[in-house]
Structure 1
């Protein structure tokens, strides 16, 4: 089967996608590039750097398509269209630049020859010019040279002219193209998967969706309509990616993995139909259960969405009979227990491969609890909450117990709600202000300051009104009843920063007791009552500290605490960022931690980094979020006391990176 090779100029590519002569098959993912990536592409074309080739498919069929993320209405094609298989991000980005799309307002610095997205600063700086103003058809180069020279008299007109001519030549840049002709849709999908599995790989969910699109045309529209249904009801995290995972789980009986697309190809139409019916039916039973019986009104409250997958199968395939209260409570008990035990923080595919089949048995909740290792009620102790922050699943429980206790906002006296908007939108507030604790002689650690026992749920307006005031000052304006509803101790001695650690201990006890009571309320009657805590991460704390080194690599210090002691180790912050970037392409790596080279693994879309007593695990967005947070809170390298390199010899615990502080 022939593969034609040709070239097209950038300007022609832009015109063809506008005329719908270039279209996106349904197997394509959505447009995901950020303005920074668009700026880098324009800069590459400006400097003549290689910018890759494009892969198209030409067919007489009429495959399902998706709309390109471009502005303006697309025209009807006058010729048989080409379907873009590889290069969507680049072609769409160029169309956006050439048509002055607001999210591709790339500007060029006539002095430094740098590119970036337009900002308030560049708008005021006379050296910057919008790339679109140079590329638009009516642009007058001589007039632009004159205006730029007038604004930048220190730059010679000839130099300005040369740089603008170089910029204006971008439309003539030629992309190498390969066009597949007469390949069937299923084979094109396999090519798409292989192409996008090399270099910067697609996620397994993207590959599964591509396979489903070829195997079951029209599935993307089904997923998008279902996602909109739940977004309108506060569960926007039930998006196309999540629904793809749910459908794959219902059809294959386990989580997503590298082999999922091959198994999906072999699925029959009946299996796909039944799987989709299971997902839709399961969600329509599960979400109201979470909203009405548990108080989880919005999906943004949930620490993990993966934990919903076995329950979707359980409820979606359940016989059409009344759901009794005991079974409903048992389902929510497993949901809470699996959430706080971080059931899917590692080996997600393997564990879903255990839990989805368990959800299909005659006694599903009992089997699910067996998989979780829960043989009795779940008790939460104060030590389980020590060192936990906003990333911990216990933070979710702290909201639930405060809401159940009748906690109200400290400004409008309205019950706390994730649905509040504007100035009433829910935020978490440091009860003892950070500024006071950071400068206190007791030298409270970052983990102590951000401990969830120091956080209360109030509106943004109330948060700003309180600002940096001490509890000694603002507690009297609230009254003991308001404090008690938020599970805050009313002992006046605990309102001073001198007694902050005693405050944390007292509030942890209140929170832990309330959380245990919540779990007990949902505990199945056939489980024995809660005893002492068995959380494997009880007493485990991980803190990161970023040290800015102006003369070399920045350093990231990891401080890990367990019941057996404290471990300290450093690593290159740049090397860790490189590991995260490599993981984007599904590539394992190595990282020197505490002077020792440590293997880093990418598994089930999770990055696992062994750090002292922990195997720290999380999705790539979670890792990036933590690194960005630490960079923003960096300290000078002079403040770092370099610990001695220390090898960890004991067993390592799975620790979610999002729970690190």
Structure 2
């Protein structure tokens, strides 16, 4: 390992352009934002160091075992977030960047490419909400006062934004790419002349300085690793990247899978599946770690932990061959979670999807499973188990790999025809992960509040009649607006009563699940008035109260505490029945 001769930014980007410098698949994708790119260019202009770079000289025999990617040039948050595959010729060596990808990519985008991110308030799926912007330098003055302490005024502009600039000011904005394209400093000066600013010394000086730091100053210091031992390289990579966004080991293992798959690009397949899963229903935030773990689980790899020894060519060949089915099973499982009313906002443990996907995979279930009348009971068994596991304490935390292997064994033995809810619960209890809470735990659950991630699952357990395939909101039975400190004092309540009611207002006993449109229409009416309007028929009104375990409904804030205490008692009993409370002393 040793330092390579220092070189310029322009020469380095030429190597990027020729794919002489590439990225190993172990690299994370590009994550910098425009503000970070601007600060990098400001540092260049001010003569600040931009840090060293680490590369790995990969010999042809080693290169053949891995997949490599090119640097991002035209980033688009919607349609072009993934690096292009580098097409290396057989026998071609490679120089892969291990540290410095974000900086080199930012230089490449700023000097050669573009950046497109979603416009504020723009729709996520609307391509027009992602305007293409390019980096410009105002060569006539320094940057206005700013919190980042920037001296040079670099900005990203779309064509439309540039056209909206005052006509007198517009000539001072120069596209940075033109400076990169200028072969000599004289050509850079000619840019000023073309804008009628050739006699403006400040403009000429700034353009000349930018050309000089890009084309002349040897600012790129590359340290090169030449060893071909992959374990050593992975260790170096983790260590040098630990100061930034810490990489999970799955990032590294994905590189190995990518090199070993023959039928498809593992990186594209995994990222694509992650994107599809996260677009289901109201949206989720599953990670590639979960997808890789699911792949090991569903293909029956014995040890599903993230270790290099589990990513053998044999295991990866099986995963490659079964990938479409693995993806289908995961999408079906996530679809069920969405049907249960869950989303990123309410799913407190992503790992719950893995055993569900395994069960569906074993049964070779398709999307028809979600609607088939013959599977209604099976879906309800899954729903109950999922919700109860999300409400229980510590199920999906420590010892996850061991738990997943145990659940897989149970499904293999008992899940051929129906979801083995009882057998799974017994195995979980044997591991100290019981779904049956103690009375103290029930008291704690009843104190869950509005806005908590687990509150939806808890209400869904309590009210199984709710059809969660329709969008439901967690709603205050007695509107929160009527229980504000100001409203309570206006009602003549003393400070002690105000404090008590404020503490109870957002707790479970004052919450219910209402369909979105119904909740919006409910507004801030007192519970008794609203319910009589919504259910004018006495039988229907009584049925509404019974379904939602509601005692006599209050008509004013003065009746709230009596209502709260009565409903808390009803929910306590209902929760005990739904979860199967055990005596903490006897264990029964």
Aligned pairs (5 A) from 1:60-75: 60=60, 61=63, 63-66=66-69, 68-71=71-74
**Counterpart of 1:97?**
110
Tell me whether 1:204 sits opposite 2:237 in the alignment: no
Is the Cα–Cα contact under 8 Å of residues 7 and 177 in structure 1 kept in the other structure?
Answer: yes
Select the residue among 353, 359, 374 that pairs with 2:408: 359
Measured after TM superposition, the shift of residue 367 of structure 1 is 1.4
Look up the SS of the partner of 1:201 in the other structure: coil
The residue aligned with 1:224 is 271
2:389 aligned residue (323, 338, 363):
338
Distance 1:89 1:144 in 2: 33
Q: Retained in 1: the 8 A contact 2:349–2:390?
A: yes
Distance 1:337 1:3, change over 3 A: same
Match for residue 567 of structure 1? none
Give the superposed CA RMSD.
5.3
How far apart, CA to CA, are the structure 2 residues paired with 1:227 and 1:135?
35
Please give the secondary structure, in 2, of the residue aligned with 1:360.
helix
CA contact (8 A) 1:296 1:302 kept: no
Q: 1:514 to 1:531 in 2, by over 3 A?
A: closer
Which position in structure 2 is the counterpart of 1:386? Answer: 447
By how many angstroms is 1:268 displaced?
3.5
Q: How far apart are residue 211 of structure 1 and its match?
A: 4.5
- Counterpart for residue 240 of structure 1: 288
2:98 maps to 85
The separation in 1 between residues aligned to 2:258 and 2:450, in whole angstroms, is 40
**Matched-pair contact (CA < 8 Å) for 1:246–1:309:** yes
The CA distance in 1 between the partners of 2:208 and 2:527, in whole Å, is 63
Who is 2:125 aligned against?
Answer: none
CA deviation map 1:39-71 (0-9, x unaligned): 443343343333222233444345423464432
What is the Cα deviation at residue 341 of structure 1? Answer: 1.7
Q: CA deviation at 1:167?
A: 5.7
Conserved? CA contact 1:387–1:448, under 8 Å: no
1:478 and 2:504 aligned: no
Q: 1:368 aligns with which of 397, 418, 428?
A: 428
* Per-residue deviation, residues 284-323 of structure 1 (Å, max 9, x unmatched): 5576467559942665352211233345556656899x99
8 Å contact kept, 1:291–1:298: no
- Listed as ranges, the matches of 1:498-537 within 5 Å are 498-506=558-566, 508=568, 519=578, 530-531=580-581
Q: 1:470 deviation in Å?
A: 6.0
What SS does the corresponding residue of 1:271 show, helix, strand or coil? helix
- Measure the CA separation in 2 of the matches of 1:66 and 1:7: 24
Q: Which moved more, 1:268-277 or 1:49-58?
A: 268-277
The corresponding residue for 1:268 is 312
Q: For 2:224 and 2:203, locate their aligned partners in 1 and report how far apart those are by CA, in whole Å.
A: 39
What are the within-5 Å matches in structure 2 for residues 496-645 of structure 1? 496-506=556-566, 508=568, 519=578, 530-531=580-581
Q: TM-score, normalised by structure 1?
A: 0.57
The whole-number CA distance in structure 2 between the counterparts of 1:107 and 1:498 is 63
* Separation of aligned partners in 1, 2:454 and 2:32: 31
The answer as to whether partners of 2:387 and 2:461 remain within 8 angstroms in 1 is no
Q: Is the contact made by 2:388 and 2:435 (CA closer than 8 Å) also made in structure 1? A: no
Contact 2:509–2:567 (8 Å) recurs in 1: yes
Deviation (angstroms), 1:110? 1.6
Q: Deviations over 1:96-115 (max 9, x none)?
A: 33333134767886232537
**1:243 Cα deviation from its structure 2 partner:** 0.8
Partner of residue 135, structure 1 = 176
SS of the residue aligned with 1:136? helix
1:171 is matched with which residue: 214, 230, 239?
Answer: 214
Match of 2:41? 42
Could you tell me whether the CA contact under 8 Å between 2:52 and 2:222 is conserved in 1? yes
Where 1:32 maps in the other structure, the secondary structure is coil
- 1:90 Cα deviation (Å)? 1.7
TM-score by length of 2: 0.63
**Alignment partner of 1:84: what SS?**
strand
SS at match of 1:175: coil
Deviates more, 1:162-171 or 1:41-50: 162-171
Unpaired runs of at least 5, structure 1: 148-156, 408-414, 418-425, 521-529, 536-661
The whole-number CA distance in structure 2 between the counterparts of 1:451 and 1:436 is: 13
Q: CA deviation at 1:137?
A: 0.7
Aligned to 1:306: 351
For the Cα contact (< 8 Å) 1:456–1:486, is it kept in 2? no
SS at structure 1 position matched to 2:114: coil
1:416 aligns to what? 470
Q: Aligned partners of 1:177, 1:459: CA distance in 2, in Å?
A: 59
Distance 1:297 1:459, change over 3 A: closer
Q: Deviations over 1:216-239 (max 9, x none)?
A: 574324423544554565475454
Deviations 1:117-146 (A, max 9, x none): 7799x9999999999845231784578897
User: Structure 2 vs 1, CA of residues 91 and 505 (structure 1 numbering), >3 Å: closer, same or farther?
Assistant: farther
Give distance in 1, aligned partners of 2:395 and 2:155: 38
Give matches, 1:636-655, under 5 Å: none
CA separation in 2, counterparts of 1:146 and 1:435?
65
Larger Rg: 2
Structure 2's unaligned 5+ residue stretches are 118-132, 180-187, 415-422, 490-497
Cα offset, 1:340, TM superposition: 1.1
Structure-1 separation of matches of 2:210 and 2:485 = 50
How many residues get paired?
Answer: 490
Q: Give the Cα separation in 1 of the matches to 2:552 and 2:54.
A: 69
Q: Is the 8 A contact 1:23 1:65 kept in 2?
A: yes
**1:107–1:117 contact (8 Å) kept in structure 2:** yes
Given that 2:24 and 2:255 are in contact with CA atoms closer than 8 Å, whether structure 1 keeps it comes out as no
1:342 shift after superposition = 3.7
